[in-house]
Amino acid sequence: MYFKQILDHFNYNSLGNGTYDQRYLITDQYWKKGYGPIFFYTGNEGDIWEFALNSGFITELAAVQGALVIFAEHRYYGKSLPFGKDSFNIPEVGLLTVEQALADYAVMISELKKELGAQTCPVIVFGGSYGGMLSVYMRIRYPNIVAGALAASAPILSTAGLGDSRQFFQDVTADFEKFKPACRDAVKGAFQKLNTLAQQKDYSRIQSAFSLCKTPSTPKDIHQLNGLLRNAFTMMAMLDYPYSTQFIGSMPSFPVKVACETMLNGTDLMLALRDTVGIVYNSTGQLACYDLYGLYAECADPTGCGLGFDSYAWDYQACTEIEMCYESNNVTDMFPPMTFTEQQREQYCSKRWGVVPRPGWLKTQFWGQDLSTASNIIFSNGDLDPWANGGIRKSLSPSLIAINIPEGAHHLDLRESNPADPESVIVARKKESEIIAQWVKAARKEPS
Amino acid sequence: MYFKQILDHFNYNSLGNGTYDQRYLITDQYWKKGYGPIFFYTGNEGDIWEFALNSGFITELAAVQGALVIFAEHRYYGKSLPFGKDSFNIPEVGLLTVEQALADYAVMISELKKELGAQTCPVIVFGGSYGGMLSVYMRIRYPNIVAGALAASAPILSTAGLGDSRQFFQDVTADFEKFKPACRDAVKGAFQKLNTLAQQKDYSRIQSAFSLCKTPSTPKDIHQLNGLLRNAFTMMAMLDYPYSTQFIGSMPSFPVKVACETMLNGTDLMLALRDTVGIVYNSTGQLACYDLYGLYAECADPTGCGLGFDSYAWDYQACTEIEMCYESNNVTDMFPPMTFTEQQREQYCSKRWGVVPRPGWLKTQFWGQDLSTASNIIFSNGDLDPWANGGIRKSLSPSLIAINIPEGAHHLDLRESNPADPESVIVARKKESEIIAQWVKAARKEPS
């Protein structure tokens, strides 16, 4: 469905005081009409179908608890482009902020509750990753509207500039090391070989070793290659699920295991590295060669922005409010040294979008680690997920609850049940389900 | 002092990503440097000196509690005009919103704490009227920055469209009625006489009775006269202090008493009404006649916007987020029937500012009456104040505390001590002082 949404919640004289069509998915299949709770997914950086199809737990829970389910698409993503193909022009892109997205959800929930006769139905928000951050923010910003939040794999600290800039790639590395230390060593060794060839400017050997479509010819090309290679490991660590998935691309079951077996199988380290990143970039085996700039695009998020319109939007958010100055350094991680300092960020973002990032803004606006006055939030994290340690790992109070899932990758708990699920995610989902039922019970009240 | 402030907190590509100079007053005269709390006044709709000079309680409390005192001026008021004399053009005026003002204060507090070596000093916010609303909002929006709020006479419900549109002028009337029912009857009678003359189009008798500089000639002029007259009673009810004051004009001590004595003294009701409103418009006795359009300007706030640049800013806020559709009707109050419906508001605001108000927005954005998850807020109100019943009159929890002051007018408790103070405001200030000391004690912590 589409919702007629206010374009600018924070300026009554901007851009003609207009509206745009915000997409949402809705099902009342399980809803105890007018009574059951509303489960509202706070859409994040992509097409809302992508998240709906990979968050089956919410629908399973709705079936048990008689809930109405809504998946709302984030402005500037998917089909919710306020200015169509001009949405990423300047200044049109300026209405892409976290605050506008939250206000969208607040207005949408309030209006839909009226339309659907659901005024007294408690609302629980759900989200994974950046969507989980939005769920946290919805609960702290709009507790008048939202009774509780399940924030799965939400890196609310590391994206607010809190924590160690080395943490992310260190934790990616740890996943491979955990499988076998030799795996980490092999990856590190392969990157060293590549570095040696690059130093020697032996570009044609690099091309053949990595099956590149075009011969690299500059340090910039080598930098791009390193970024592309590193990104494949990021994806496999994040999406290290116990069964094959179609989410942000195609992934086999246990991709970290598959990657390490591939790394340790070959005799030539660089060929092994090529085949390993092929798990991500060439899952069908159809690619004859790798297009260096076509498969991966560098942006203001060192963990990757993806490709296409959605990647523009995320790049813009990483250039404004969301702070991800993560580095690899070849010491605390297995990757080549690649910095992304606040200065590099500012330089890139000024040039790309005409904006100056505001470090510290998310911490001011959404409380950083000073969450003691908040309530009714579950922070779930999987120990396999490199984002986990950028989030809340210990309960902060009886109603600010951390749930850690030892065998979990990036928001595994939001996915539908699967025979291959480890016991730890089954336990986590059960606990989440119980807490949410309590919140709903406590929030029941007369229409206000 | 002036603070280099971000012009648009919510759009990184607007108006050149600039800054403006925001004024603030600061004194460290009583501060236990680096340790004592920060008392921060969240400036409202006027020159910050006006509020600083009429909020002596804050400084008295700072002397006792060793606090640093800051009075911050609200953007678009006083000398804090982001675009100078062009600030009230369209679209420049569009950056005047509650959210921008709150973000200003959040950024200013965070930066000044660093600059002043006050990182560990708890911050308490204070405000009166709309400033009190801002104090409430600061605490619920930024509990990471603000440990508690004293919101004096903050009509957070009635300005969010919650409550009875007749309440305000009914409570103005009650003040005069309380002094003597005959006073209310005399005022009502005088307005009826005026109405009769207006029906007869006897404009010259109206001119002489009310000493108008120009003869009224249209129903619009009569409407303007009614507004001007009603406004004087609003002012006297709000500012019914037990000693003479210079705040929003010049006021004698106990103006309601003075008004009623004047009303009941004369033999001609209309002449008595003229002399009564003279308490407000002609306190010096220097005016030979009343300039119908020069002394009072109708705007989107039926309780009055004042005159000059500040009045433009307040009119704009009343046209966008702040909802004051209050009516008088001659039944529940003593004034002529004067409606201000949501439709009238929309019509006026579209024409004046090119904006469409968004009823319900403050309720969505700042929780309306759903404050149960908030904490550490004092809602003080004076029973004489017509704004009081638009605010919180009963404690909502042990840390959401209502303090009612039977003999208090509009935020009397914020004023400096005076020998004429009634016992009830002395008791209220003592209680406020104790609660604030507790908040400060509880909030002490290591730098985050």
Does the pLDDT at position A422 exceed 50?
yes
- C-alpha–C-alpha distance, residues A96 and A88, integer Å: 9
B15: pLDDT confidence band, cut at 50, 70 and 90?
A: low
Say which of B11, B17, B448 has its CB closest to residue A97: B11
User: Model confidence over A253-280: pLDDT tens digits?
Assistant: 999 999 999 999 978 999 999 999 999 9
Cis-peptide, bond into residue A91, ω within 30° of zero: yes
State how far the Cα of A114 lies from the Cα of B199, in Å rounded to an integer: 45
In DSSP notation, B297-308 reads: ---S-TT---SS
- pLDDT bracket for residue B249 (50, 70, 90): confident
Q: Is it the case that residue A230 has pLDDT exceeding 50?
A: yes
CB contact under 8 A, A353 and B448: no
Amino acid A15: pLDDT:
60
pLDDT digits (tens, 9 = 90+) for B65-123: 999 999 999 999 999 999 999 999 999 999 999 999 999 999 999 999 999 999 999 99
d(CA A42, CA A72): 6
Q: What is the pLDDT of residues A116-129, one digit of tens each?
A: 999 999 999 999 99
Catalytic position from the list A104, A383, A385, A421: A385
Contacts of B196 (CB under 8 A, 6+ apart): none
User: Is residue A390 a contact partner of residue A158, using CB atoms and an 8 Å limit?
Assistant: yes
Alpha-carbon B154 to chain mean position? 8
Q: Is A408 helix (H, G, I), strand (E, B) or coil?
A: coil
- Which residue of A10, A139, A323 is the best one to mutate when testing the B interface, meaning the one whose CB has the most B CBs within 10 A? A10
Q: For B377-387, how does the pLDDT look when each residue is reduced to its tens digit (9 = 90+)?
A: 999 999 999 99
State the pLDDT confidence band at A445, using cuts at 50, 70 and 90: low
User: Is B355's pLDDT higher than 50?
Assistant: yes
pLDDT at A186 over 50: yes
Can you tell me the distance from the alpha carbon of A140 to that of A362, in angstroms, rounded to the nearest whole number? 13
Has residue B445 got a pLDDT over 80? no
Strand, coil or helix: B99? helix
Q: What percent of chain A has pLDDT over 90?
A: 96
Kind plus residue range of the DSSP H or E element containing A21 = strand A19-27
3 state DSSP class of B257: helix
CA B150 to CA A289: how far, in whole Å? 67
| A112 CA: distance to closest CA in chain B (Å) | 14
In a 13 Å sphere around the CA of B302, the CA atoms on its Cβ side amount to 30
To the query of whether residue A8 is one of the catalytic residues in this protein, the response is: no
C-alpha–C-alpha distance, residues A180 and B23, integer Å: 61
Which site among B87, B138, B141, B144 would you substitute to test the A interface, given the most A Cβ atoms closer than 10 Å to its Cβ?
B144
Identify which of A88, A101, A109 has the alpha carbon closest to the alpha carbon of residue A45: A101
Residues facing residue A21 across a β-bridge? A4
Residue A410: active-site member:
yes
A411 flagged as catalytic:
no
Count CA atoms within 13 Å of residue B46 on its CB side.
17
Place of tokens 């700042």: B366
**A377 close to A399: Cβ distance less than 8 angstroms:** yes
- Cα–Cα distance measured from residue B336 to residue B192, given in angstroms and rounded to the nearest whole number: 8
Q: Could you tell me which residues are beta bridge partners of residue A76?
A: none
Q: Is B416 in a helix, a strand, or coil?
A: coil
Is residue A375 within 8 A of residue A400, CB to CB? The reply is yes
Token pair recorded at residue B319: 């046209």
User: Is the CB of residue A97 less than 8 Å from the CB of residue B11?
Assistant: yes
Residue A266 pLDDT: 79
Judge whether A8 and A94 are in contact, CB under 8 Å.
Answer: no
Contacts of B365 in chain A (CB under 8 A): 103, 106
Average pLDDT, chain B: 96
Q: Which residues of chain B have a Cβ shorter than 8 Å from any chain A Cβ?
A: 6, 8, 10-14, 17, 90-91, 93-95, 97, 99-100, 103, 106-107, 110, 141-145, 319-320, 353-356, 358, 360, 363-365, 367-370, 373, 375, 448
* SS3 at position A138: helix
Residues shown for chain A: 448
Q: Tell me whether residues B95 and A17 touch, CB distance under 8 A.
A: no
pLDDT in tens, A46-85: 999 999 999 999 999 999 999 999 999 999 999 999 999 9
**What confidence score (pLDDT) does residue A447 get?**
39
pLDDT at B300 over 70: yes
> Which of A9, A11, A157 to mutate against chain B (most B CBs within 10 Å)?
A11
Query: Which residues have a Cβ under 8 Å from the Cβ of A347 and sit 6 or more positions away?
Result: none
Sign of the torsion formed by the C-alpha atoms of A235, A238, A244 and A250:
negative
pLDDT of residue B17: 61
CA gap A118, A109 in Å, rounded: 10
Tokens 């070849």 found at: A330
